[in-house]
Structure 1
């Protein structure tokens, strides 16, 4: 079942929809990782032959791709220096 490319793409779509509902780059890295695995399985070749070998290796590659995608997203569109607002007084101090 884990070798079906459409299943990984459907999972990527579900994760992307979850990202819209809970913004903050929580699910987008996982969605990109799932889409990459789905694309590798769809195109075939040596990557697909390796992925169809065993579920643990497929999950490890998915995790590595997801972390790389998450790190790249945080670098490109993450919080910039100076964007964080620091509140130094309480509204009830008046």
Structure 2
């Protein structure tokens, strides 16, 4: 496997995220970039199927981490549990 292909794929996914913002491709772009760097550094030597599985798991973890750090967007539905006019 060539790590440069993974890095190029990460850059393309990052560009796609810039064109279609909404956190859809950011997690997979970061995970693909990390996998590419791991392959280039010689830290990953397993076959392609395992690389794809690890990239998918990394993508989900990165997405959850970014969601926790940056929170929900303004477009999300907010459920009100208390009325402003209620006395407490």
Q: TM above 0.5, one fold?
A: yes
Q: Which residue number corresponds to residue 51 of structure 2?
A: 58
After TM superposition, the structure 1 = structure 2 runs for residues 6-17 of structure 1, keeping only pairs within 5 Å, are: 6-17=4-15
* Cα distance, 1:56 vs structure 2: 1.3
Normalised by the length of structure 1, the TM-score is 0.74
| Among candidates 49, 58, 66, match of residue 73 of structure 1 | 66
Structure 1 gaps of 5+ residues are: 87-94
Using the alignment, how far apart are the partners of 2:7 and 2:40 within structure 1? 10
After superposition, the CA RMSD in angstroms is 1.7
- Structure with bigger helix share is 1
Using the alignment, how far apart are the partners of 2:58 and 2:5 within structure 1? 17
Structure 2 residue 16 is the aligned partner of structure 1 residue 18:
yes
- Report the CA distance shift for 1:43/1:6 in structure 2 as closer, same or farther (over 3 A): same
Using the alignment, how far apart are the partners of 1:20 and 1:42 within structure 2? 25
Using the alignment, how far apart are the partners of 1:60 and 1:15 within structure 2? 18
- Report the CA distance shift for 1:85/1:66 in structure 2 as closer, same or farther (over 3 A): closer
* Cα distance, 1:40 vs structure 2: 0.5
Using the alignment, how far apart are the partners of 2:51 and 2:17 within structure 1? 23
Structure 2 gaps of 5+ residues are: 79-88
Is the deviation greater in 60-69 or in 70-79? 70-79
